[in-house]
A and B are shown apart, each in its own frame.
Chain A
Amino acid sequence: MWKDLSDLLWQAYEQFGFLPLFIQIALIFIGLAILATLVAYGSILFRRWQGYVYEKRVNFITPKIEDMITEQVLLNEQLGSVPVDDIEFDPVPLSDKIYKKPWVRQIVIDVLIQYRKNFRGEVGDLLRKLYIDMGLPKDSFDKMKTLKWERKIKAVMELTQMDIPISDVTILPLTNSQNPSLRAAARNAYIQLSKNDPFKFFDIATEPLLPWDQLDMFRIITTTKDIQIPNFSRWVSYSTNKSVVSFCLKLIAHYDQKSAIPAVMDLLNNKDHYFRADAITCLGKLSAEMAEVRLVKIYDHQPLICQIEILRAVGQIASGKYLEFLKHEFSYSSNFDIRMNAARAIINHDSDESRVIVNELMNTTYEENRIIIKHCLNPLIK
């Protein structure tokens, strides 16, 4: 058998050109497959070895870096007594040769960022000072010049984390990048670092602001100190970018910008019902009493998701003027979700009047509705 096979292979080699096409293809693929398998095994081994070496180095160096930062920052004696800008670091440990190696410097940056995520205030400022004093901003800026987008993003994020200003010339083109992730990172950087007009790109953004990117942007807007919070109703009225508007709605609710109520109410005419639902949610969170009449008035012509949001909003506004409306919806709607939300809205009023209604309903309504009320009243269920 083996002899046959080797003979065959030898023959195949000699007579390759005379073999039928399908056998030729098969033979070529056998070669390729064996090659691919060997390369794959080689790569697996190489990657594991590489990973092992890197891990060993990291495990060796990270505690040293952590100790250094602990010494220099966390346990710094001058902390609290001397202004952060005037604190001088002990030059000896910082001038250690290992801190010249690029990969060590990268780990230092990563560790510093870890600390920055946990500490603000003076410790946070001192971490930033250490980053600057070690000359690490240059490493980050260098990374920004590479062609790889993921490296650029990392660089932008490092600088943002460390609160290092990036010039408009560098960052503005990136806010319009073709790459959505880079764009998002650049915008976040711009919001945090630009001192005069952080929300500039809200005016010009044409691409959607993805929900995932909104997370980081929201965090930055709500945590950056000395950021000038504008009146977001500006974009609610004028922006044609739906995702920007819906993000602004969330910010309006977060900052409780009651002056935005009229602008938000204008959205109630919008054709997109998901969008309308967002606007109604926002009005509810703002406890926009002036919107209540309008919400109840448009209620009948809305799709289910908007109706539910209206019920919720009326429950949050809780002026008490529309308890009869809620009671009516609760008693007569055939839709379970509507009854549930109506009941919740009544209970949310938490007034003498609403409690009377709840009692009355408990005594008069049918079994399923009674369970709905019990469900909403039960503190164990939320």
Chain B
Amino acid sequence: MANILVVEDDEIMLKAIKNILSKDGYNVILAKNGKEAFDKLEHADYDLVLSDLMMPYANGLEVISRLRNDPAKKHVSIIIVSSVGNEETITEAFRLGADDYLKKPIMAGELLIRIRKLLANRTVRHSL
């Protein structure tokens, strides 16, 4: 099953997402801030990264940028989950290469559907 890295500084949300995704059978790895995320991205391969925008050490935009600028990780799908609602930031996230953006509060069902869709697209792309 797909490996998902969840980057989020709100512990409640971190655990909640882990629970929800694990229930659907995903292999979930957690990171509490940008730095942890970078470390974990170094040491394993992920299919999808779910990231908040504002966190200590490095923000979500840097996570996106780092992934998109690394040829080995370019393929990783990125979903931003954040409470930030101003358009500029959302546009920035997409311009940097985020695949999707969910504004908190999120719907758990919707999150799962979007993850499933992104991963499915990816498999299609890969098999082509």
Contacts and interface: CB of A to CB of B under 8 A. Distances in A.
Contact of B109 (A80, A111, A117): A80
Interface stretch (B7-15, B34-42, B61-69, B114-122): B7-15
Nearest to B81: A118
30 contacts: A66-B12, A66-B15, A70-B15, A70-B19, A74-B16, A74-B19, A74-B20, A75-B20, A80-B109, A111-B12, A114-B12, A115-B16, A117-B83, A117-B105, A118-B13, A118-B104, A118-B105, A118-B106, A119-B16, A119-B105, A119-B106, A119-B107, A119-B108, A120-B106, A121-B108, A121-B110, A122-B107, A122-B108, A122-B109, A124-B105
Chain B's interface: helix, strand, loop or mixed, by majority? Answer: helix
B107 A120 contact: yes
A121 B105 CA distance: 9
Interface in B71-104: 83, 88, 104
Closest 9 CB pairs of A and B: A121-B107, A120-B105, A123-B108, A118-B13, A114-B12, A74-B19, A119-B105, A70-B19, A118-B104
A38 B53 CA distance: 47
A75 B106 CA distance: 16
Interface in A58-105: 66, 70, 74-75, 80
Interface of B: 10, 12-13, 15-16, 19-20, 23, 83, 88, 104-110
Contacts of A121: 106-110
Contact of A117 (B19, B23, B104, B110): B104
A143 interface: no
Nearest to A77: B23
B40 to A, nearest CB: 22
A111 B13 CA distance: 11
Contacts of B23: 75
A114 B12 CA distance: 7
Contacts of A70: 15-16, 19
A61 to B, nearest CB: 14
Contacts of A74: 16, 19-20, 108
Given A117-B105, A118-B10, 8 more contacts: A74-B20, A114-B10, A119-B16, A119-B105, A120-B105, A121-B106, A122-B108, A123-B108
A1 to B, nearest CB: 56
A70 B11 CA distance: 13
Nearest to A222: B85
A120 B102 CA distance: 12
Nearest to B95: A379
B13 to A, nearest CB: 5
A151 interface: no
A349 interface: no
A242 interface: no
Contacts of A66: 12, 15
A116 interface: yes
Interface in A104-148: 111, 114-124
A198 to B, nearest CB: 20
A67 B12 CA distance: 11
A220 to B, nearest CB: 13
B128 to A, nearest CB: 32
A123 B111 CA distance: 12
B52 to A, nearest CB: 11
Interface string A130-170: 00000000000000000000000000000000000000000
Given A114-B12, A118-B13, A123 B19 contact: no
A2 to B, nearest CB: 55
Contacts of B105: 116-120, 124
Contacts of B108: 74, 119, 121-123
A40 to B, nearest CB: 34
Contacts of B19: 70, 74-75
A277 to B, nearest CB: 20
B107 A123 contact: yes
Contacts of A122: 107-109
A145 to B, nearest CB: 29
A75 B109 CA distance: 12
A80 B108 CA distance: 10
Contacts of A382: 88
Nearest to B105: A120
Nearest to A126: B108
A344 to B, nearest CB: 15
A124 to B, nearest CB: 6
Contacts of A75: 19-20, 23
Contacts of B107: 119-124
> Most chain-A CB neighbours within 10 Å: which of B10, B23, B108?
B108
